[in-house]
Structure 1
Amino acid sequence: MSQPNPIAPKPWKDYTDLVSRLENNGMIVPDRARAERKISQIGYYRLSGYWYPCRQIELDDTGRQVKRYGLPMRSSAFQEGTNFDDIVRLYIFDKRLRQLILDAVERIEVNIRTIIAHVVGQQDALAYENPSFINPKKLATYFQNGNVRNQWHDWLGNHKAKINRSREDHIEWHKRSQKAIPFWVAVEAWDFGTMSKYFELLKMSHQTRVAEKVGVSTVKNLVNWLREINTLRNRCAHHARIWNQSSSNPLNYENDPFFHGLPSNGESKKRMLGLIAVIGYLTKQIGPGSRWIEDVAALIDDKPNPPSCSLSAMGIPEDGFPRAAFGIG
């Protein structure tokens, strides 16, 4: 069956026309030349993700919200007070938040993969290719889209590809010397996703030892945290908007006293506050003197607030970042 022809794209517009379009839809543009320059540098549709919440919600004749796919439809018109300069400030805020996240995630990734290599490598220097360390359930084959799959084989194939592509000096030396690459060297080729997936595949006994050394109360929590941090890390690495993103997999952290002062509603566990809390906790486990959470709090204090871009979209109370919950002033 032939596919229907796609709907034609919207016509191309130059930067002057794009700024005029924003003004015609009710956005305040204090400096047109600056607006054109910013759109030329950042991109109209990249910025549109930041002003989208500022667009008015469409209402039907009875005053009820018009919805599509279960979500309110937005009109082209902006809410009163929407200012282009505030949108750019929100974009810069999001960029700085990504930079802080990536800085912390680097520390977490290096720390946890080092712990995994030390704990598991103690028992077998080549454990990364030994299925006896893997949960038997993860060794089972299954069908997906007509293909036979196996989580362990999928991971091992990804690991080998990373080793083959790696140009790290110590890995290259082992290749040239035709020496087997020990676990504590091989992990230098891993990224966060490779590390988190390997931890998820391990038998419970190995997972428990790793979680204890990381400082996380349960294996279930650490698996959950690593999955969500990996998703966030990938968004940050690809420069995607993160400040108001929501996850379909809420974070688990009820059992640890560190988190008891945080809002108990499920929304905060699906949004940035939950991830900030988990990342802040892990950075403190790595370095008790870390001031990462203070840096995040200071950034959030200066967050711009265009219409409908409130702190609640981050899972943060409207009265500000919950410093007391983290024991900071």
Structure 2
Amino acid sequence: MYEKPWLSYREQLDKLKNRGLAVTDEPKALEYIERIGYYRLSGYWHPFRERSELFCPIGNGTPKGKKTKPTSAVLDSFKPGASFAAAVRLYVFDKKLRLLVLDALERIEVALRVDISHMLGKYDPFAYLNPDLLFEGFSKEADSKTGLPRHVDWMKKQATQIARSREDFIKHNKNKYGHPLPIWIACEAWDFNTLSELYDGMRLEDQDAIADKYGIRNGRTLASWLRSLNYLRNVCAHHSRLWNRNVVDQPQKPPKSVVPDFDNAWTRGNEHILARPFLLLCICQKLLSSINPASSWWQRFSELLTEFPENESLGIGWGAFGVSDEWLSWECFAKSRQ
């Protein structure tokens, strides 16, 4: 049973103060709580909370002399120097970051629509409905959970998105020509997830042809990256915290030398960095450098990084964001920062 009581905005602020969070401008702090919400802001002051060191046994049981490993538990109290203003600065940075990432993802999504519709459309305007023109593992082999090919569920999803579309050109083509719509029209109603799933279901040679446009050459690698970017898009589109997000759908390591710029990203010891968003932003830049070589996106991202409210004593550091100095110096990214 949920036992935490409802608290007024003033009570919420007093609760933070009593736990040691410094509040220098109470009217402004109340305004932020009322406008943004205590729970959403809590994700940004969470790193400021103190931790207690614990030692957990390795393996089952706790016999005398059993080896232990250090861990920690988050406490309610805040570290010395923690402030409401610092949490707000981190929130503002994160908001700017999400908007910038959405800008990159929009360009990638639009380009992907063109790539997929042009590639499949040359075979048949309705190739996206034809199992023979797609990868057999996607279009014909039964999924272990549903007993049906993944293509069946995908077709239902894309049809729903077309039916819900209020775009005039979609209505015009449905009224004039009926169903199905050719892929170069239908794809304009699909979201990023639907596009990335269709790319994942394309024949390997078609995937490779599209991946080659982006200097990746390996279609399965690009399919994995697109799944990760769809996860990134969902985080940003739902206004969720991004800066220290634990990336659940991590991008696949490309075959060695297939994407030379990323050969060092998956080296041993980088597991924590792989679970943070910076690598996904590097992937965005890799794709954007082919979509629009003159894009200033990485430059704008680099400038935003200078606003990052780094404060190691409060647990706000580059490591939580996943930034690596080595990655910032990679040739393909360094050029865009000049």
2:143 maps to 142
- State the AA in 2 paired with 1:279: C
244 and 273 in structure 1: CA distance in 2 versus 1, 3 angstrom threshold: same
1:54 maps to 48
1:36 maps to 30
Q: 2-side partners of 1:283 and 1:269: how far apart? A: 20
Q: CA deviation at 1:225?
A: 0.7
SS of alignment partner, residue 87 of structure 2: helix
- Structure 1: 5+ residue runs without aligned partners? 1-6
Q: TM-score, normalised to structure 1's length?
A: 0.89
Q: TM-score, normalised to structure 2's length?
A: 0.87
Q: CA deviation at 1:8?
A: 2.9
Q: 1-side partners of 2:277 and 2:17: how far apart? A: 31
SS of alignment partner, residue 215 of structure 1: coil
Structure 1 segment 136-215 matched on structure 2, within 5 A: 136-138=136-138, 139-144=140-145, 147-179=146-178, 180-215=180-215
71 and 96 in structure 1: CA distance in 2 versus 1, 3 angstrom threshold: farther
Identity %: 34
Does the alignment pair 1:309 with 2:316? yes
Partner residue of 2:15 out of 17, 21, 24:
21
2:286 maps to 281
Give yes or no for contact 1:273–1:314 (8 Å, CA) kept in 2.
yes
Q: 2-side partners of 1:226 and 1:324: how far apart? A: 22
Give yes or no for contact 1:35–1:84 (8 Å, CA) kept in 2.
yes
SS of alignment partner, residue 148 of structure 2: strand
- State the AA in 2 paired with 1:170: F
Give yes or no for contact 2:213–2:290 (8 Å, CA) kept in 1.
no
Q: Which deviates more from structure 2 when the two are superposed, residues 189-198 or residues 164-173?
A: 164-173
1:221-250 deviation digits (Å, cap 9, x = unpaired): 101110000001011111011110122444
Partner residue of 1:270 out of 255, 271, 275:
275
Q: 2-side partners of 1:167 and 1:159: how far apart? A: 14
Structure 1 segment 115-134 matched on structure 2, within 5 A: 115-134=115-134
Q: Higher RCO, 1 or 2 (CA under 8 Å, sep at least 6)?
A: 1
Aligned residue pairs, count: 314
- State the AA in 1 paired with 2:273: S
SS of alignment partner, residue 59 of structure 1: strand
- State the AA in 1 paired with 2:25: D
Q: CA deviation at 1:300?
A: 1.2
1:131-166 deviation digits (Å, cap 9, x = unpaired): 11221122222343xx53320100011111111111
Q: 1-side partners of 2:305 and 2:266: how far apart? A: 17
Aligned-CA RMSD value: 2.2
2:238 maps to 238
- State the AA in 2 paired with 1:46: R
Partner residue of 2:328 out of 313, 319, 322:
322
1:4 maps to none
Q: 2-side partners of 1:193 and 1:140: how far apart? A: 21
SS of alignment partner, residue 152 of structure 2: helix
